[in-house]
Structure 1
Amino acid sequence: MPNISRKGQRMPASPIRKLTPFADKAKLEGKTVYHLNIGQPDIETPAGMINAIKNIDFKVWAYTPSEGTLSYRKQLTKYYNKAGYNITPEDIIVTSGGSEAISITFMTCLDAGDEVIVPEPYYANYNGFASQNDVIVRPIMSYIENGFALPPISEFEKNITDRTRAIFICSPNNPTGYLYSREEMEALKALVLKHDLYLFADEAYREFCYGDQPFISPMHLDGLEDNVIIIDTVSKRYSACGARLGCIISKNRKFWEIAIKFAQARLSPGMVEQIAGEAAIDTPDEYFERVKSEYTTRRNTVVNALNRMEGVYCPNPGGAFYVMAQLPIDNSNKFCQWMLEEFSYENQTVMMAPATGFYSTPGAGLKEVRLAYVLNNDDLAKAMKCLEEALKVYPGRTVGREHLVVSSWH
């Protein structure tokens, strides 16, 4: 039998999806499973996107330009310039989802053995993209005690080597929900300029910011035109995860000239998706206002319920639709599997993502889980009750009260 590649054997499995067989078995046993493990919103996709697909009228389902159709890129330019990005259609490459945007960015900017620094915990699939491209991820630890704020710049400085090429951030963050402040973004700006690095920014959750703190993009900071690569997607913004439509934005012309060659190699993004994407740009602001209000309510339900549980601590996130919670447990991998295999409360259980999959540092995240508040408020309340009852009887519950006292985050 021919051998499988070493790269394939190194490729990490998704921590978000690896427990799916156990959830499927629980459902076959008649249990209700509340899926808080994955960021699949239940919010309806804007009607304009759906209607644009229903009203398609073409005779040939043709290739599109490798950089995306001009009409869609013009629409995207309207959206981003409304947010203060000051770009043109020539600064955009349309991709098949945010995932392809990350892959093309890595291939364009990084050689095998190059390093990218990422504050952890971070979106687990970054590891997969790094593995595909023989890139090394250098994690910088952030901590639940201060809500997973940006680590001190001194920690970044310690980890910069002669192979460091980029810093990769996600704001609002997946998995923590942390929203970087202007001061933190300015500190990153100074760092990447000092060391002549790229700043990759995953902005999938841009529209989901709560409270008074504004969203700050690297595109809002002067002097970073040659350093910033924005990675984006329609998946979360328009609750259109199945569309597989994203984009890369950069004012760096050399980056664009190289990235388009990788885009040409995969031919083109889908035509139907871009037709829907064009229509999405005309989604009224009221849609996002309603969605943000709904997510704010859901966030409050989950965070308040978690912090009422004995031994549990959960910081209040500033954006996205995830929380990271510390639980009084021995091992989050074991606990999340136990919830599906052995536990039920009123014939219900909860599927969560073990936080270990969002860290590179060995042993990190063993007492933490990520929960996505993407279900309706009633189901979230039931899921929280279920989790509370589970923690009372879990065999691996740690002894004593381990609640972190961080009053500014309550």
Structure 2
Amino acid sequence: MRVRKRRSQRRASASPWTYTLATWFAGVLAAVGLGAVAPVGSALRASLGLSDGALAWATSSITAVSAALGIPAGWWVRRFGAQRALSWGLFVMSVAAVGSAATGSWGLLLGARIAEGVGYLLVFVAGPVVLTRIAQGGTRSAALALWGTCVPTGLAVAAVTGGALESVWTWNQWLALTALGPLIMAGVLAAVLPRLPGAAAPCAHREAGAWNGALRLGVAYGSLSLVGVAVVMVLPAFLLEERLATPTVTGSVVAVVCLGSAVGGLAASWLLRRGTAFSSLVPLGALMPVACLPAFSAEFPLVVSGGAATLVLVVDGLLISAVFAAVPASVSRAADVDVANGILNQLGSVGILLGPPVFGVVIAAAGWGVVAALVLVFGGLGAVLLLASGRTSVTGSTADPSRPLDAPGGRERRNGAESLAKAADAGKRPRTRP
């Protein structure tokens, strides 16, 4: 009993950033699973006899699960508990990745990737909720902004590592390797995260408009995600067809552009931690359509075009991180953060799925010059909704994403250490049945 008591006290006294970085790393490993198929796509297609369409489905099926089940996952995480959902999501991804590595047909591969998508969804709904409950004030805003870098960082890790191993490993070995990290991290998080108090899940009737703030942020996230993924997906075709760049040069440029999103997210985390209001970051969105003009023009040197495309992704990543930082202020009760993150993931995934085909159809009809207009429309919509979320909360009052959330029972949690201490105390109390 004394050992358990001392362990709980050590967890409660640790810096919130220790838990933040552990949770962030879990999100990065989950994103590695999201991008695991792309580096070995050619070998996988040849081994299983897949068409380009079948391979695309195997690649995007993880995101499709989030697009279909994000909101229900938010309700489920609220009832099950964010900490447990995070660990179980990683475990499910690990088991499903082993299934992908052992598969011998497209049907089994698709089923395994869908199962992996369920785990991925749990991680990306539960992760921000854990961060919301272990940190407060500016630290919480910075932690949530850092979470916004998980996907680009994980995709970059998958592309670099998978690409390097593709020539010496089989695709089965690579996919099996991607199962190892989530499995280890699931155990680490179960051991080190404090026992966070669960959020109540009453069935009481919610007032009209209770989810307006979360829906605004969800549409903003979907619009910004649509821009980011679409620019990355259409850029290789532009470089190869219009700039006559070699595949090696094209791959290098696209890799740098993708990392721009993570750089933007890190910048947002740094700024928010130092007290910058996220609404002051929104005007930077005007740079995206402007930067698209040289990015998708053959009149500029390739270095300028690549730098401009990178700037688009830097600003896009910065605004996406600001969206995550704004989620706690978009709901009126701490218990609703779980569902709000489910809304965010579902609408964001819809944007990711729609982005490439929408841009592809319009570019085919109007040419590359229309990219800037599309970025202006979708990026502008995301920026406007993000700015609106910063000015009004669901109750119509001024919102600040760094304000403390109301703890269950109406008491305000003043800082992260206090909430962790309460979690440790809760873990020491014996459970009784009424």
Shorter-chain TM-score category? Answer: under 0.3
Higher strand share: 1
Higher helix share: 2
Q: TM-score, length-normalised on structure 1?
A: 0.27
